[in-house]
């Protein structure tokens, strides 16, 4: 079906009776209709008339719930007193789930005028009747080919009778008619904009995409990006605004400043030509009254060596306030100087209002991978709580000049673990502790910001936590921030990128793979932490020939960039490593006339999990948490483990917490909803106490942020159960919509 076509449901949906379920798998509950919509009795469908403005608290019209990114809803029909009655109202099943490589769904759906807009595991856009789950239309950006990747949602724009959906698949930004799903051919070139264009650098052969939706300001779509992170040349992460009608670039903010621009002197002189990253990949928030857009940026490339980018590196790892109309910088606050740990800001700052020193102050609250919360004045960027620049260990890698200090907020306290030594080693059982202690004795250990070196160093929080792209939710009535965090360690070691003597094809290929490919495809060629986006290479020899691998490395495909900069010998070495064939070929040092890593002399061997012999994290529990933070005083209200391992639960262990991905939703009904954990359950916590009120065992993990909305007087809570993803559990294909029975008890 061409991408400009709508796909209506051809037959009336079949209706089945819903089943209440607290921890019991759904099994065969439901049925499949059309594009696999499973329906249950719900309230009568009542759509807001076309052209009407949706009631803000009854809709979920923006990624994160509102322009401030609060993930808060004033709806209270579902509340602490009746939460145990919550049950599935309908389930929608997508038809493009991939078992291998495992797909995922990270989408936070938006709901406007009674229509839910969401994305599938294969990155199709689908519109559903939000009350019933009945499909209205779908759009396939791949022209019937298999799509793959990660998408966290779409953006809605309206002006008069015109309504558009904007979203990114691969390297292209698309514009669709919100009523029909048809591609708007007058947007960009034949309905789409190539994001590799317009970055003020030649990036045609580089990977440029966007996983998180942009934010609309008037007739502008302001958009960040994901770019390559390896030592090979990658694209810069400049922030851009596009005209929502034409796709024309209206402004650009150089996150790696050009000569003459503010911050240029915080880099090496040629960094603006060669360094990539410093990208806003986690989304943005907007203060329409002030005309300000807020973004958090990631690390510069290469992630673990910065000898070619000496300095603090503005505007990498920064909270940015920009004029939404023009992209001009108003203020910035850097949370990591000269990042060597891949400590990206993974999510947009929450726009909050707090009581501070007897005054009400509008602020931004930025949660981070390090487990810090930076609370900054919204107009000036000044911290509301003291931030100390503390000395940190320095790198011993030749050519590197790590920054001598890093910023530590005095309050709120860290919400994630920041230290792993023998004292913090696992206490799950004596055998596990002994095994971990033996490994720790051979590693560099200590507090956060231990720099990568030639010997193994422990990193906690790891490269994917504390906070991740799900970010925090904020209750404006109590001025409380809710943030989930992962507490799992990894270890990292560096090695020279270029062999100084003779080597083998397999050894050279292993070095290149570890530094360039392992972050996506995993160490030793298993499925990596980004498995939904990138396939496992463990059995690549069963799927691809030598010639096919060489062609892929040279030309790239989909989200994989071209490695045309590698020499033919280097590409052959990677292929030999992947295929396990030809690896004994001897390579003389003099034959290595080019360097696959460019001007990066030292590269990481990869991001390595650090676990006990049974596969559990090497550090003490909890391994995942949900924390409520009083932003008025910078103190914790409560912190509880988030998720559990069922096998440990069966042994009588209390909840341990697990690695978690996805955000929370807080409501006026006194409930914090969150999936995220590896137990594949949808959880509801008392927002005042942290007590677990209810949970539902889904068919796959809910690694997405839920949404809530009201139709015809009935409140729904909607979450994707796509599984897979960085937690590495089985993939799923469903969106679950929960509601109370038709006549809920109050």
Under 8 Å between Cβ of 124 and 146: no
Q: Whose CA is closest to 373, among 407, 414, 319?
A: 414
CATH class of 498-596: mainly alpha
Largest CA distance in the chain: 79
> pLDDT tens across 342-379, in order?
999 999 999 999 999 999 999 999 999 999 999 999 99
- The residues facing 603 across adjacent strands are 495
The residues near 438 (Cβ < 8 Å, ≥ 6 apart) are none
- Token pair belonging to 654: 């209390």
Under 8 Å between Cβ of 583 and 505: yes
The gap from C-alpha 220 to its chain's centroid, in whole angstroms, comes to: 23
Under 8 Å between Cβ of 164 and 175: yes
The gap from C-alpha 164 to its chain's centroid, in whole angstroms, comes to: 24
- In the chain, the N- to C-terminal Cα span, in Å, equals 47
Residue 534 to residue 464: CA distance in whole angstroms: 17
Task: Using alpha carbons only, give the angle 649, 651, 654 rounded to the nearest 5 degrees.
Answer: 45
pLDDT for the residue 529? 35
pLDDT for the residue 245? 98
- The residues facing 162 across adjacent strands are 159
Burial of 27 (0-12, 13-18, 19+ CB in 10 A): exposed
Q: Whose CA is closest to 92, among 36, 151, 33?
A: 36
- The residues facing 692 across adjacent strands are 685
Q: Give alpha helix (H) positions in 68-111.
A: none
Edge-to-edge order in the sheet of strand 608-609 = 457-459, 490-492, 608-609
Domains of the chain by residue range: 1-51+60-194+655-746, 498-596
Under 8 Å between Cβ of 253 and 214: no
Residue 158 to residue 154: CA distance in whole angstroms: 14
Beta strands in 622-706 (DSSP E): 624-630, 635-641, 664-667, 671-674, 681-686, 692-697
pTM above the 0.85 mark? yes
pLDDT for the residue 46? 29
Reduce the DSSP state of residue 345 to 3 states and report it.
Answer: coil
Residue 586 to residue 17: CA distance in whole angstroms: 67
Buried b (16+ CB within 10 A) or exposed e, 189-223: eebbbbbbebbebebebbbbbbbbbbbbbeebbbb
Residue 70 to residue 63: CA distance in whole angstroms: 10
> pLDDT tens across 403-433, in order?
999 999 999 999 999 999 999 999 999 999 9
Q: What are phi and psi of 440, to 5 degrees?
A: -60, -30
- The residues facing 332 across adjacent strands are 320
Helix (H) or strand (E) holding 549: helix 546-555
Q: Whose CA is closest to 612, among 677, 656, 562?
A: 656
The gap from C-alpha 62 to its chain's centroid, in whole angstroms, comes to: 17
Residue 226 to residue 453: CA distance in whole angstroms: 27
- Token pair belonging to 618: 């090497």
Which regions in the chain score pLDDT beneath 50?
A: 1-54, 524-534, 745-746
Residue 619 to residue 607: CA distance in whole angstroms: 17
Residue 391 to residue 450: CA distance in whole angstroms: 11
């Amino acid at each position: 079906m061409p991408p400009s076509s709508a796909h209506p449901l051809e037959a009336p949906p079949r209706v089945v009776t819903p089943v209440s379920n607290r921890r019991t798998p759904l099994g065969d509950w439901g049925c499949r209709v059309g594009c696999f919509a499973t329906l249950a009795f719900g309230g009568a469908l009542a759509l807001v008339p076309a052209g009407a403005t949706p009631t803000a608290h009854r809709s979920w019209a923006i990624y994160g719930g509102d322009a401030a990114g609060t993930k808060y809803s004033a709806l209270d029909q579902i509340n602490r007193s009746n939460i145990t009655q919550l049950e599935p109202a309908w389930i929608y099943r997508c038809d493009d789930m991939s078992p291998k490589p495992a797909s995922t769904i990270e989408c936070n759906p938006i709901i406007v005028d009674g229509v839910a807009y969401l994305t599938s595991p294969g990155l199709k856009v689908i519109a559903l009747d939000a009350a019933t789950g009945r499909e209205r239309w779908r759009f396939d950006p791949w022209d019937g080919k298999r799509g793959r990747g990660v998408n966290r949602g779409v953006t809605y724009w309206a002006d008069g009778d015109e309504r558009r959906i904007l979203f990114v698949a691969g390297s292209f930004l698309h514009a669709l008619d919100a009523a029909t799903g048809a591609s708007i051919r007058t947007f960009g070139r034949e309905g789409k904009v190539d994001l590799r264009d317009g970055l003020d650098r030649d990036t045609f052969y580089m990977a440029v995409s966007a996983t998180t939706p942009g934010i609309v300001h008037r007739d502008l779509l302001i958009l960040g990006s994901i770019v390559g992170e390896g030592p090979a040349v990658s694209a810069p992460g400049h922030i851009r605004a596009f005209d929502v009608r034409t796709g024309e670039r209206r402004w650009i903010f150089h996150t790696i400043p050009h000569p003459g621009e503010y911050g240029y002197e915080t880099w090496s002189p040629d960094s603006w030509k060669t360094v990539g990253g410093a990208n806003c990949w986690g989304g943005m928030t907007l203060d329409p009254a002030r005309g300000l857009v807020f973004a958090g940026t990631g690390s510069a490339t290469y992630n673990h060596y910065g000898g070619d980018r000496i300095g603090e590196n503005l505007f990498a790892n920064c909270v940015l306030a920009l004029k939404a109309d023009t992209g001009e910088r108003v203020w910035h606050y850097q949370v990591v100087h000269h990042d060597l740990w891949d400590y990206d800001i993974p999510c947009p700052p929450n726009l909050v209002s707090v009581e501070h020193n007897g005054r009400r102050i509008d602020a931004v609250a930025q949660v981070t991978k390090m487990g810090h919360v930076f609370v900054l004045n919204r107009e000036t960027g000044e911290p509301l709580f003291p931030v100390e620049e503390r000395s940190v260990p320095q790198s011993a890698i030749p050519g590197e000049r790590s920054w001598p200090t890093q910023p530590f907020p005095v309050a709120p306290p860290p919400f994630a673990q920041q230290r792993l030594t023998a004292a913090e080693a696992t206490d799950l059982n004596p055998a596990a502790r002994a095994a971990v202690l033996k490994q720790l004795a051979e590693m560099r250990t200590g507090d956060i910001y231990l720099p990568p070196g030639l010997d193994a160093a422990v990193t906690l929080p790891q490269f994917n936590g504390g906070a991740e792209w799900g970010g925090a939710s904020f209750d404006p009535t109590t001025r409380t921030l809710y943030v989930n965090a992962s507490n799992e360690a990894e270890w990292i070691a560096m090695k020279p990128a270029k062999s100084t003597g003779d080597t083998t094809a397999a050894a050279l290929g292993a070095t290149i793979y570890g530094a360039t490919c392992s972050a996506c495809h995993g160490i030793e060629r298993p499925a990596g932490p980004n498995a939904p986006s990138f396939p496992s290479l463990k059995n690549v020899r069963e799927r691809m020939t030598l010639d096919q691998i060489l062609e892929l490395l040279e030309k790239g495909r989909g989200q994989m960039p071209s490695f045309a900069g590698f020499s033919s010998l280097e590409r052959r070495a990677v292929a030999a490593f992947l295929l396990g064939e030809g690896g004994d070929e001897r390579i003389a040092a003099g034959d290595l006339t080019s360097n696959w890593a460019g001007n990066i002399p030292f590269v990481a061997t990869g991001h390595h999990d650090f676990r006990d012999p049974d596969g559990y994290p090497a550090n003490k529990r909890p391994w995942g948490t949900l924390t409520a933070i009083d932003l008025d005083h910078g103190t914790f209200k409560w912190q509880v483990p988030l998720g559990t391992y069922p096998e440990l639960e069966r042994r009588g262990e209390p909840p341990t917490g697990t690695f978690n991905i996805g955000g929370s939703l807080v409501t006026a009904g006194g409930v914090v909803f969150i999936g995220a954990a590896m137990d594949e359950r949808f959880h509801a916590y008392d927002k005042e106490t942290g007590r677990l009120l209810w949970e539902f065992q889904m068919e796959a993990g809910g690694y997405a942020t839920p949404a809530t909305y009201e139709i015809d007087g009935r409140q729904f809570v909607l979450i994707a159960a796509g599984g897979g993803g960085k937690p590495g559990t089985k993939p799923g294909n469903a969106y679950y919509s929960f509601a109370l029975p038709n006549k809920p008890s109050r």
